[in-house]
C-alpha cells in the first residue's frame, strides 16, 4: 500500500452552509437521496460546553474498510492511493455494506436497487484536481490530505464526540476540533 | 422500528427450521428405517423456499449468483455456498434414496446436516458487526441456533402426528422435555442479552428501549415463549401429543421466532446514531 488520501474537516471554520453536500450532488446525482456527503450538526450534549458546530462527512476511505470485507460480490476495491471504490455495475443491492459501515457511507438507492457512495472524485484526483466538495467549500473548512502518513498531527484529532469508534475501520479523516466556549446560539430543544 | 427486513426474517427462520428438522431426522433415520426420499423432501423444500424468498431482499436478484464470488472474507458468500450445498446434497439424498442405496443416503444426509449447521453459523456471523452493537455479540449466534433447534423438533413432532412414519425416532415425551429446556435457555439468554445491552453503549441501550417498548416484543414473550413452554411441558407429562397440540406448538414457536427475528433486524441501532 502506498499513500493514503484522506479528508481534513475543520469544525472551527465550517459554518454549516451545506455547500459541500450540494457540490457533491451537483457533480453526481440529481435525486434527493442518497447523500454521499452529509453535514451533521454536532449534538450539544456531546460536548462539555455550549457550542454549535458542524461535521461534514462522506466515505472515510478507511484503512481497513468493513464494506470491502463483507461485500459478497467483491464490488469494493482499494486503490494504491487509499481510495475505496465501489463498482456500481457489480453491486446486487444486498445492502450488507450499509449495515457494516460504522459511518453510514454506503447508501441504498431505492430507484436503482444498488448501493452507492463517495468515490473521492477519483477521476478528478487522477487529473490533479480537487474533489468537488473540497473545491466548493467557501470557507476552506474541507481539505484533501494528500498522504495521511506524513500529515502533521498538531492541532488535529482523529475523532470528535459522537463520531463512531475509529478502531473498527481506521477512517482516513482528521478533524480540527472546535475551540472551547464559543457560543453562537443554543439549539432549540 | 423501520427496517423489518421481512425477506431476511423468513429466509433465516425457514432455513434454520429446515436444518433443525434435519438435525432431528438424520440421527433418527440412521438405522435405515422409513421412506428417505419422502423424509428429505420437506427440508429440501423448506430450504428452497427460504432461498427463493431471500432473493426479494436484493435490489438485483437476477445477479444473485455473484454472491459466491467473495468467499475469502464475506460471510454472506459463505452462507450462500453452504446453504446451496445443503440443498444440492438433499436433492442428491432424495435421488439415491429412490435408487435404494442406503449407505449413500446416510453419507449425503450427514453431509447435508453438517453443511446446514455451518450455514447457520455463516448466517449468524454476517450480523456480528461492530457497527451494530446489538448484533455484535455471541447472542446472535446462539439465537440463530436456538431457532433451528426449537423449530426443527416442533416440525418433526407435528409431521410424526400428521403423517406417521417418516421420522419414527421422534418421541413425544423426550421432544417435549427438550423443547421446554431449550425454551428456558432461550428466555434466560434473552434476559442476559438485554442486561448486556443495557450496560453497554448508548446505541445498545436504545435497542433495549426499542425492544421493551414494542408490543411485538411482549407478544413474542407470551406467544413465542410462555405459551409454547406450557404446551411442551404438557407434551412431556403426557408422553404423546394430539395433532392439534403439536400443530399449536409449531405455530406458536414459528410465530414467536418470526417476531423475534423481525425485532432483531428492526431494533439494531447503528453507531452512526451518535451523530444524528
A28-42, pLDDT tens digit by residue? 977 788 999 999 988
- Tell me if the bond preceding B178 is cis, omega within 30° of 0: no
Asked if B214 and B260 count as a contact pair (C-beta separation under 8 A), the reply is no
Q: How far is CA A46 from CA A52, A189, B50, B102, in A?
A: 11, 14, 44, 66
pLDDT at A53: 83
DSSP state of A175: E
Residues of A in contact with B63 (CB under 8 A): 73, 92
pLDDT at B36: 75
Q: Parse chain B into domains and list their residue ranges.
A: 6-275
Residue B56: closest C-alpha in chain A? A94
Name the pTM for this structure: 0.93
In tens, the pLDDT along A77-104 reads 999 999 999 999 999 999 999 999 999 9
Asked if A69 and B125 count as a contact pair (C-beta separation under 8 A), the reply is no
Yes or no, beta carbons of A100 and B131 under 8 Å apart: yes
Yes or no, beta carbons of B270 and A102 under 8 Å apart: yes
Tell me the HSE value of A72 on the side-chain side, using a 13 A CA sphere: 22
pLDDT at A188: 56
Pairwise CA distance, residues B193 & B198, whole Å: 9
DSSP state of B241: -
pLDDT at B34: 65
Q: Which domains does chain A have, with CATH numbers?
A: 6-176 (3.30.70.20)
A59 or A45, greater pLDDT: A59
| Out of A73, A104, A115, closest to residue B69 by CB | A73
Q: Which three cell numbers stand for residue A77?
A: 476495491
Pairwise CA distance, residues B37 & B93, whole Å: 7
Asked if A176 and A45 count as a contact pair (C-beta separation under 8 A), the reply is no
Average pLDDT, chain B: 93
The average pLDDT across A109-114 equals 94
- Confidence class of residue A187 from pLDDT cuts 50, 70 and 90? low
Nearest C-alpha neighbor of A49 from the set A159, A171, A189, A179: A179
Cell numbers 407434551 correspond to B235
Report the side by side order of strands in the sheet with A6-10.
Answer: A142-145, A6-10, A173-176
Q: Which three cell numbers stand for residue B12?
A: 433465516
The distance of A129 to chain B (nearest Cα, Å) reads 30
Full 3-state SS string of B66-115: HHHCCCCCCHHHHHHHHHHHHHHHHHHHHHHHHCCCHHHHHHHHHHHHHH
pLDDT at B1: 44
pLDDT at B31: 67
pLDDT at B100: 78
The listed CATH number (1.10.150.120, 1.20.1630.10, 3.30.420.10, 3.20.20.10) that belongs to domain B6-275: 1.20.1630.10
pLDDT at A9 over 90: yes
pLDDT at A171: 97
Q: Which three cell numbers stand for residue B238?
A: 403426557
3-state helix, strand, coil in chain B (%, to 5): 80, 0, 20
A134 or A44, greater pLDDT: A134
- Confidence class of residue A168 from pLDDT cuts 50, 70 and 90? very high
| Cβ of residue A93 closer than 8 Å to a chain B Cβ | yes
Pairwise CA distance, residues B240 & B236, whole Å: 7
Nearest C-alpha neighbor of A10 from the set A144, A110, A189, A123: A144
The answer to ipTM > 0.95 is no
Q: Which three cell numbers stand for residue A144?
A: 484533501
The fraction of chain A above a pLDDT of 70, given in percent, is 89
pLDDT at B172: 77
In tens, the pLDDT along A116-130 reads 999 999 999 999 999
Residues of A in contact with B134 (CB under 8 A): none
Residue A126 burial by Cβ neighbours in a 10 Å radius (0-12, 13-18, 19+): exposed
The angle subtended at Cα B99 by Cα B95 and Cα B104, nearest 5°, is 70
Longest dimension (CA), chain B: 63
pLDDT at A179 over 90: no
Provide the 10 A C-beta neighbour count for residue A188: 4
pLDDT at A181 over 60: no
pLDDT at A182 over 70: no
To 10 degrees, the CA torsion angle through B238, B260, B57, A120? Answer: -150
Low-confidence ranges of chain B (pLDDT < 50): 1
The distance of A162 to chain B (nearest Cα, Å) reads 5
Amino acid at each position: 500500500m502506498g499513500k493514503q488520501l484522506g479528508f481534513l474537516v475543520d469544525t472551527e471554520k465550517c459554518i454549516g452552509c451545506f455547500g459541500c453536500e450540494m457540490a457533491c450532488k451537483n457533480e453526481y446525482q440529481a435525486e434527493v437521496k442518497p447523500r454521499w456527503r452529509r453535514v451533521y450538526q454536532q449534538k450539544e450534549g456531546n460536548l462539555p460546553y455550549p457550542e454549535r458546530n458542524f461535521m461534514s462527512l462522506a466515505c472515510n476511505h478507511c484503512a481497513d474498510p468493513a464494506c470491502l470485507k463483507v461485500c459478497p460480490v467483491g464490488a469494493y476495491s482499494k486503490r494504491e492511493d487509499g481510495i475505496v471504490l465501489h463498482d456500481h455495475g457489480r453491486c446486487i443491492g444486498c445492502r450488507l455494506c450499509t449495515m457494516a459501515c460504522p459511518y453510514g457511507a454506503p447508501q441504498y438507492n431505492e430507484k436503482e436497487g444498488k448501493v452507492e457512495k463517495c468515490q473521492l472524485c477519483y477521476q478528478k484526483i487522477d487529473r490533479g484536481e480537487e474533489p468537488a466538495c473540497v473545491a466548493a467549500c467557501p470557507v476552506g473548512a474541507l481539505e484533501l490530505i494528500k498522504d495521511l502518513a506524513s500529515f502533521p498531527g498538531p492541532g488535529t484529532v482523529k475523532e470528535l464526540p459522537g463520531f463512531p469508534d475509529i478502531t473498527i475501520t481506521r477512517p482516513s479523516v482528521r478533524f480540527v476540533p472546535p475551540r472551547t466556549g464559543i457560543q453562537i446560539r443554543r439549539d432549540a430543544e | 422500528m423501520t427496517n423489518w427486513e421481512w425477506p431476511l426474517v423468513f429466509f433465516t427462520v425457514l432455513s434454520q427450521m429446515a436444518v433443525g428438522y434435519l438435525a432431528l431426522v438424520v440421527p433418527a433415520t440412521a438405522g435405515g428405517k422409513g421412506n428417505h426420499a419422502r423424509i428429505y423432501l420437506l427440508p429440501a423444500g423448506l430450504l428452497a423456499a427460504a432461498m427463493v424468498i431471500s432473493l426479494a431482499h436484493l435490489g438485483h436478484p437476477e445477479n444473485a449468483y455473484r454472491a459466491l464470488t467473495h468467499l475469502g472474507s464475506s460471510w454472506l458468500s459463505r452462507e450462500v455456498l453452504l446453504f446451496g450445498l445443503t440443498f444440492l446434497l438433499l436433492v442428491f439424498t432424495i435421488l439415491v434414496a429412490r435408487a435404494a442405496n442406503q449407505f449413500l443416503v446416510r453419507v449425503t444426509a450427514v453431509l447435508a446436516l453438517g453443511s446446514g449447521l455451518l450455514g447457520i453459523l455463516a448466517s449468524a456471523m454476517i450480523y456480528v458487526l461492530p457497527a451494530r452493537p446489538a448484533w455484535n455479540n455471541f447472542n446472535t449466534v446462539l439465537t440463530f441456533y436456538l431457532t433451528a433447534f426449537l423449530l426443527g423438533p416442533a416440525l418433526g413432532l407435528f409431521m410424526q402426528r400428521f403423517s406417521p412414519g417418516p421420522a419414527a425416532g421422534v418421541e413425544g415425551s423426550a421432544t417435549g422435555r427438550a423443547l421446554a429446556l431449550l425454551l428456558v435457555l432461550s428466555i434466560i439468554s434473552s434476559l442476559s442479552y438485554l442486561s448486556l445491552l443495557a450496560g453497554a453503549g448508548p446505541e445498545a441501550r436504545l435497542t433495549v428501549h426499542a425492544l421493551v417498548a414494542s408490543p411485538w416484543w411482549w407478544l413474542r414473550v407470551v406467544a413465542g415463549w410462555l405459551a409454547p413452554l406450557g404446551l411442551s411441558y404438557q407434551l412431556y407429562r403426557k408422553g404423546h401429543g394430539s395433532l392439534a397440540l403439536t400443530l399449536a406448538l409449531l405455530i406458536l414457536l414459528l410465530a414467536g421466532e418470526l417476531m423475534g427475528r423481525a425485532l432483531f433486524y428492526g431494533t439494531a441501532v447503528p453507531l452512526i446514531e451518535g451523530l444524528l
